Amino acid sequence: MARTRWARENLGLALLAFGLAFALWAVAVWEENPPTERTLADLPLVFHGLRPDDVIFETSTGQVRLRLRVPRAIENSISSQDVEAFVDVQGLEEGTYERPVQIQIRRRGIQILAVDPPRVRFRLERMESREVPVSIQILGQPAIGYQVGIPLPALSQVRVNGPRSRVSVAAMAVGRIQIDGLRQSVETQVRLAAVDPQGELLSELKVEPEQITVTVPIEQRMGFRELPVRVALQGRPARGYQLTEISVDPPTVTLTGDPRRLEEIGSYISTEPIDLSEARGEWIAEVPLVLPAGVTVVGGSTAAEVRLRVEPILSTQVFQQIPILVEGLGAGIIARLSPETVDLILRGPLPYVENLRPDELRVWIDVGGLERGTYTLTPTVTLSAPVANLSWTLIPPNLQVSLMPAPTPTRSR
Number of H helices, E strands in the chain: 4, 35
Question: What DSSP line would sit under 224-264, residue for residue?
Answer: EEEEEEE--EES-PPTTEEEEEEEEESSEEEEEE-HHHHHH
Q: Cis link prior to 142 (omega < 30° from 0)?
A: no
Look at residue 23 and tell me whether its pLDDT is greater than 80. Answer: no
Residue 321 within a domain: yes
pLDDT digits (tens, 9 = 90+) for 206-241: 999 999 999 999 988 888 888 899 999 998 888 888
For the cut 60, the answer to whether the pLDDT of residue 45 exceeds it is yes
If one counts the domains in the chain, the total is: 5
Q: For residues 21 and 39, state if they share a domain.
A: no
Measured at the CA of 53, the angle between CA 51 and CA 56, to 5 degrees, comes to: 80
Decide if pLDDT at 394 tops 70. Answer: yes
Taking 50 as the threshold, does the pLDDT of residue 364 lie above it? Answer: yes
Mean pLDDT across 304-329: 89
Which domain CATH number covers 245?
A: 2.170.120.40
pLDDT for res 22: 52
Residues 112 and 177 in one domain: no
Q: How far is CA 347 from CA 146, 177, 317, 362, 387, in A?
A: 53, 57, 7, 16, 11
Predicted confidence at residue 30, as pLDDT, reads 46
Distance CA(365)–CA(344), nearest Å, equals: 15
Report DSSP letters for 313-375, one per residue. Answer: PEEEEEEEEEEPEEE-PPTTEEEEEESSEEEEEEEEEHHHHHH--GGGEEEEEE-TTPPSEEE
- Comparing 17-26, 33-42, 74-83, 120-129, which segment has the lowest mean pLDDT? 17-26
The amino acid sitting at 93 is E
- pLDDT of res. 18: 60
User: Does residue 9 sit within a domain?
Assistant: yes
Distance CA 290, CA 273 (A): 10
Residues 1 and 72 in one domain: no
Please say whether the beta carbons of 164 and 126 come within 8 A: yes
153 and 214 share one domain: yes
Please state, in angstroms and rounded to a whole number, the distance separating the CA atoms of residues 243 and 171.
64
pLDDT level of residue 89 (50, 70, 90 thresholds): very high
Do 263 and 180 belong to one domain? no
CATH of the domain at 61: 2.170.120.30
Residues 131 and 213 in one domain: yes
Domain assignment present for 410: no
* 16 band by pLDDT with thresholds 50, 70 and 90: low
Predicted local distance difference test score (pLDDT) of residue 28: 47
Residue 410 pLDDT greater than 80, yes or no = no
Q: What are the tens digits of pLDDT across the range 102-145? A: 999 888 888 889 999 999 999 999 999 999 999 999 999 998 88
pLDDT score, position 413: 52
Cα 287 versus chain centre, distance: 37
The residue among 68, 93, 117 that closes a domain is 117
Residue 29 has pLDDT above 70, yes or no: no
Query: Are 106 and 132 in a shared domain?
Result: no
Same domain, 164 and 183: yes
Question: 36: left (phi > 0), else alpha (psi -120 to 50), else beta?
Answer: beta
Domain check: are 298 and 375 in the same one? no
Do 142 and 171 lie in one domain? The reply is yes
In a domain, 411, yes or no: no
**Quick check: 3 pLDDT over 70?**
no
User: Among residues 124, 123, 122, 133, which one has the least CA distance to residue 160?
Assistant: 133
Answer yes or no: is pLDDT of 63 > 60.
Answer: yes
pLDDT greater than 70 at residue 314: yes
Among 264, 297, 312, residue at a domain's last position: 312
214/148 same-domain check? yes
With a pLDDT cut of 70, the percent of the chain lying above it is 91
- Across the chain, what does the average pLDDT equal? 86
| CA 140 – CA 183 distance, rounded (Å) | 13
Q: How much is the pLDDT for 136?
A: 94
Question: Is residue 30, in this structure, part of any structural domain at all?
Answer: no
CA dist list (Å): 125 to 56, 130, 160, 203: 7, 16, 15, 15
Q: What pLDDT band is residue 100 in, cutting at 50, 70 and 90?
A: very high
Write out pLDDT tens, residues 295-308. 888 887 889 999 99
| 110 is a domain residue | yes
The residue segments making up the domain with residue 208 are 127-220
Same domain for 155 and 94: no
In a domain, 122, yes or no: no
What pLDDT, on the 0 to 100 scale, is given for residue 293?
Answer: 86
Assess if residue 412 is contained within a domain. Answer: no
